[in-house]
């Protein structure tokens, strides 16, 4: 255990915050752990919100990280439904909205991110929804039943996951995307074109290079989305999914450096040695990225960040070096991504697009930097192992269906 460390305060009870508390106990930390959540109830998993939970396939109990007994048995002091309002780094104290104050020997920002809200006329109309929190998802589940004409603003992971479920429920769905293709920020053109075609085949309509200008209503109900070009799209429910904004204001007011997130070093530590930041709110030097500092939005990154900080706080510091990976389930389509392919200039196909089961190997020159796998989980598993070990395969090898990717991933040296 780090010298003199008696209490750890964790702000945020998402995947990163929960994992940090759990990992501290796993590493033998015996001091007090305060886990502060601005949401009521027990910490829960977010990925199923836009998938099985939204679709009614799983209940709340399967969404929870752990039952209430876990926190009691592990002496994790969960403070739910309260919000941190100020941090005093000099006094090492956090003031909560309830008026309570928490003293810390170490503070961890796991404050995550919030929905990006566009500045549109009508954005506050009833029926404009988001899909990030449990409360938002519960509200959307009820509205989905009555809605018929749905507009999704944004063709990213969440927007398309929702679109697939809405179409499966027989709703009319139109997706507005300001870029010229779906998931343009994270997918190759090959992968993007495949997903757009499959969603379109299922009945989802797309408008690319389309910008919402206003959300219109009649008699108190949403009626349409007006576009920047003057067009209108009929709607009785609008889902906004245009990305997120990191929650850094509290850290900023405490005097910590901000650079598209709370700036931390390779140990995920701020300039204040008593404060760390993890997950969606942290901007860190990623060894797998060509653009640093990096801020990543994924469960993997948040939980691996948490494990890294827990190890450091219990006397086993190691620079953070975990490989980023991501996934999305859109109807019958399962997308898995290993690595960070931003900036790639060459792609190689393994498998066939026509079969609906293929991987896109993304290269910067001859260097493999990312792998997109669609309904091909074995490629993803071996690709993750390969990239995490710092190894590569040539474009010729990747394209060869007879090449043993497993052997390459498991090779020593």
Helical (H) or strand (E) element with 253: helix 249-253
Burial (CB count <10 Å: 0-12, 13-18, 19+), residue 199: buried
Token digits of residue 128? 């404009």
C-alpha 210/C-alpha 228 separation (Å) is: 7
Residues facing residue 95 across a β-bridge: 86, 101
Burial (CB count <10 Å: 0-12, 13-18, 19+), residue 318: exposed
Q: Name the residue with tokens 């108190």.
A: 220
Is the Cβ–Cβ distance between 226 and 218 less than 8 Å?
Answer: no
pTM listed for this prediction = 0.96
Rg value, the chain, Cα: 22
Q: Hey, what's the torsion of the CAs at 5, 6, 11, 12, to 10 degrees?
A: 100
Side-chain half-sphere exposure of 49, counting CA atoms within 13 A: 20
C-alpha 353/C-alpha 358 separation (Å) is: 6
pLDDT of residue 3: 57
Q: What φ, ψ does residue 71 adopt, rounded to 5°?
A: -70, -40
pLDDT of residue 411: 87
Angle at 22 between CA 17 and CA 27, to 5 degrees: 125
pLDDT of residue 2: 55
Helical (H) or strand (E) element with 318: none
Ordered structural domains, the chain, with CATH:
7-114+245-313 (3.50.50.60), 128-242 (3.50.50.60), 332-410 (3.30.390.30)
Residues facing residue 361 across a β-bridge: 348, 371
Per-residue pLDDT of the chain (413 residues; tens, 9 = 90+): 455 789 999 999 999 999 999 999 999 999 999 999 999 999 999 999 999 999 999 999 999 999 999 999 999 999 999 999 999 999 999 999 999 999 999 999 999 999 999 999 999 999 999 999 999 999 999 999 999 999 999 999 999 999 999 999 999 999 999 999 999 999 999 999 999 999 999 999 999 999 999 999 998 899 999 999 999 999 999 999 999 999 999 999 999 999 999 999 999 999 999 999 999 999 999 999 989 999 999 999 999 999 999 999 999 999 999 999 999 999 999 999 999 999 899 999 999 999 999 999 999 999 999 999 999 999 999 999 999 999 999 999 999 999 999 999 998 76
State the helix-helix crossing angle for 189-201 and 157-168, rounded to 10 degrees.
20
How many beta carbons lie within 10 A of that of residue 332, not counting itself? 11
C-alpha 151/C-alpha 159 separation (Å) is: 10
DSSP SS3 for 267: coil
pLDDT of residue 412: 77
pLDDT of residue 413: 60
DSSP single-letter state for residue 50: G
């Amino acid at each position: 255990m780090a010298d003199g460390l008696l209490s750890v305060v964790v702000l945020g009870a998402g995947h990163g915050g929960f994992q940090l508390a759990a990992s501290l106990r796993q590493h033998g930390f015996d001091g007090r752990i305060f886990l502060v959540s601005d949401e009521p109830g027990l910490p829960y998993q977010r990925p199923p919100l836009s998938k099985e939970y939204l679709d009614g396939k799983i209940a709340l109990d399967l969404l929870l990280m752990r039952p209430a007994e876990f926190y009691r048995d592990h002496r994790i002091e969960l403070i739910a439904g309260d919000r941190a309002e100020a941090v005093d780094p000099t006094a090492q104290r956090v003031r909560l909205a309830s008026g309570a104050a928490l003293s810390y020997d170490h503070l961890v920002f796991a404050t995550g991110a919030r929905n990006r809200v566009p500045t549109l006329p009508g954005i506050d109309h009833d029926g404009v929804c988001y899909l990030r929190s449990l409360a938002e998802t519960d509200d959307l589940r009820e509205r989905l039943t009555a809605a018929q004409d749905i507009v999704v603003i944004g063709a990213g992971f969440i927007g398309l996951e929702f679109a697939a479920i809405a179409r499966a429920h027989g709703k009319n769905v139109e997706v507005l995307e300001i870029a010229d293709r779906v998931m343009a920020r994270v997918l190759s053109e090959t992968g993007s074109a495949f997903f757009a075609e499959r969603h379109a085949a299922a009945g989802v309509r797309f408008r690319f290079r389309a910008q919402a200008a206003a959300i219109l209503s009649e008699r108190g109900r949403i009626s349409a989305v007006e576009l920047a070009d003057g067009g209108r799209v009929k709607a009785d429910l609008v889902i906004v999914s245009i990305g997120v904004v990191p929650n850094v204001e509290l850290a900023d007011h405490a005097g910590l450096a901000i650079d598209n997130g709370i700036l931390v070093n390779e140990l995920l530590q701020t300039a204040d040695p008593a404060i760390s930041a993890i997950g969606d709110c942290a901007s860190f030097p990623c060894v797998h990225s060509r653009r640093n500092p990096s801020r990543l939005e994924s469960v993997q990154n948040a939980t691996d960040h948490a494990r890294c900080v827990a190890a450091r706080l219990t006397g086993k510091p190691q620079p953070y070096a975990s490989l980023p990976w991501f996934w999305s389930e859109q109807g019958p389509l399962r997308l898995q991504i290993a690595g960070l392919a931003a900036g790639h200039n060459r792609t190689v196909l393994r498998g066939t697009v026509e079969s609906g089961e293929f991987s896109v190997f993304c290269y910067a020159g001859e260097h493999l930097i990312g792998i997109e796998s669609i309904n091909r989980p074995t490629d993803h598993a071996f690709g993750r192992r390969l990239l995490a070990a710092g190894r590569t395969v040539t474009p010729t090898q990747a394209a060869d269906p007879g090449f043993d990717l497993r052997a390459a991933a498991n090779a020593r040296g």
